């Protein structure tokens, strides 16, 4: 890659952008809230392997000031995607590739509709990361990045991109089935992020300590598997066992959606809960518990938006 633009330079975008910049890539950051601070103080990352700062990153609030570039990484929340139609065009030349690192289902489709399916890539971030202050990103848990093509097996392009991330110190891997990987990630996200919000703003240990919520988490996982199977992905039951089993060691963990909710920010209700329900329904599979949770979360978040 010759040049990279990061769209949405919060925790995820700021972290991966800073890692790539630190490795010498030409990274440019589209940001709004932290723009002045980052211009003044640079972009600071507190990682397990140590701390570093990108001193004078190229930052702007206007995409025309950053592009066109060879690679766009979309890293803001899916709730901001309606802005992509405005933000992406100035970042594109004829061969620009767009990688979404967003949660849930549907982001690749939104991007493909704007730039074409053949230029669309997706990635899943399994990582603990927070923006702790303007321009400061804490990455307490080293994680992995899974990259894939939109509706195609991975090819040379994705492998080259994974190598770029690996050279930058990111544990990147490649999947031939991005859509299945997205459904797999939902196996944990749908129950634990959803119940954390709907059951009153509670951490994952309290979900597990409540027998009803723990059973509901299990049943929600089973519905994610049923939805995945309905659209053609055979995720084994043992994967749900694994996801349940890895949760107790997380302790009083706050899923990122709960943090968004608790801090009054938008929650990715459509991509995490709405889209799996719609995709399963499109092939005749009802996911009743996920749908109920989706409708409740949609109502709860809509009420908050109405108040603010």
Minimum CB separation of residue 298 from a copy of itself in Å reads: 5
What are the tokens at 42? 């640079």
Minimum CB separation of residue 306 from a copy of itself in Å reads: 10
The smaller minimum CB distance to a copy of itself, of residues 4 and 293, is found at 293
Interface with a copy of itself, residue 293, by CB under 8 A: yes
Interface with a copy of itself, residue 205, by CB under 8 A: no
Task: Please give the Cα distance from 187 to 171 (Å, whole number).
Answer: 22
Task: Please give the Cα distance from 45 to 139 (Å, whole number).
Answer: 7
Minimum CB separation of residue 218 from a copy of itself in Å reads: 11
Kindly report the backbone phi and psi dihedral angles of residue 79, in degrees, each rounded to the nearest multiple of 5, phi listed first. -65, -20
Task: Please give the Cα distance from 218 to 237 (Å, whole number).
Answer: 11
The smaller minimum CB distance to a copy of itself, of residues 64 and 299, is found at 299
List the one residue from 213, 221, 228, 244 that touches a copy of itself (CB under 8 A): 213
Minimum CB separation of residue 276 from a copy of itself in Å reads: 15
List the one residue from 210, 231, 253, 278 that touches a copy of itself (CB under 8 A): 210
Catalytic residue among 119, 131, 185, 254: 185
Q: Which of 136, 190, 99 is nearest to 10 (CA)?
A: 136
What are the tokens at 166? 């690996």
Interface with a copy of itself, residue 303, by CB under 8 A: yes
Q: Which of 88, 75, 67 is nearest to 3 (CA)?
A: 67
Kindly report the backbone phi and psi dihedral angles of residue 43, in degrees, each rounded to the nearest multiple of 5, phi listed first. -115, 125
Are the CB atoms for 74 and 107 separated by under 8 Å? Answer: yes
CB atoms within 10 A of CB 171: 14
The smaller minimum CB distance to a copy of itself, of residues 96 and 301, is found at 301
User: What separation in angstroms does the CA of 78 have from each of 28, 164, 251, 252, 283?
Assistant: 20, 25, 27, 26, 24
Catalytic annotation present for 2: no
What are the tokens at 159? 């492998």
The region of 17-25, 38-46, 83-91, 208-216 touching a copy of itself under the rule CB under 8 A is: 208-216
Minimum CB separation of residue 277 from a copy of itself in Å reads: 10
Q: Which of residues 182-201 bind a copy of itself (CB under 8 A)?
A: 195, 198-200
Interface with a copy of itself, residue 300, by CB under 8 A: yes
Interface with a copy of itself, residue 216, by CB under 8 A: yes
SS3 135: coil
Residues that bind a copy of itself (CB under 8 A): 195, 198-200, 202, 210, 212-213, 215-216, 219, 288-289, 291-296, 298-300, 302-303
Catalytic residue numbers read: 185
């Amino acid at each position: 890659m010759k040049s990279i633009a990061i769209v949405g330079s919060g925790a995820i975008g700021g972290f991966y952008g800073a890692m790539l910049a630190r490795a010498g890539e030409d990274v440019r950051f589209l940001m709004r809230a932290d723009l002045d601070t980052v211009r003044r103080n640079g972009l600071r990352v507190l990682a397990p392997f140590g701390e570093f700062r990108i001193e004078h990153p190229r930052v702007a609030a206007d995409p025309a000031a950053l592009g066109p570039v060879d690679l766009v990484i979309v890293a803001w929340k899916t709730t901001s995607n309606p802005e992509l139609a405005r933000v992406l065009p100035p970042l594109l030349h004829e061969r620009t590739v767009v990688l979404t690192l967003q949660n849930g289902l549907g982001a690749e489709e939104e991007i493909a509709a704007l730039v074409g399916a053949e230029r669309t890539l997706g990635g899943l971030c399994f990582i603990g990361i927070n923006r702790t202050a303007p321009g400061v990103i804490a990455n307490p848990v080293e994680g992995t990045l899974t990259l894939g093509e939109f509706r195609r097996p991975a090819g040379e392009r994705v492998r080259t991109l994974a190598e770029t991330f690996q050279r930058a110190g990111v544990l990147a891997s490649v999947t031939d089935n991005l859509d299945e990987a997205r459904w797999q990630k939902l196996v944990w996200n749908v129950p634990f992020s959803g119940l954390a919000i709907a059951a009153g703003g509670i951490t994952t240990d309290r979900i597990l300590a409540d027998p009803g919520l723990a059973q509901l988490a299990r049943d929600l996982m089973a519905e994610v598997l049923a939805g995945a199977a309905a659209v053609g992905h055979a995720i084994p039951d043992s994967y749900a066992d694994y996801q349940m089993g890895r949760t107790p060691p997380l302790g009083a963990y706050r899923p990122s959606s709960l943090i968004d909710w608790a801090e009054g920010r938008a929650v990715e209700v459509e991509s995490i809960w709405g889209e799996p329900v719609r995709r399963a329904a499109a092939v005749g599979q009802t996911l009743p518990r996920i749908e109920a949770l989706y409708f409740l979360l949609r109502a709860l978040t809509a009420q908050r938006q109405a108040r603010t």
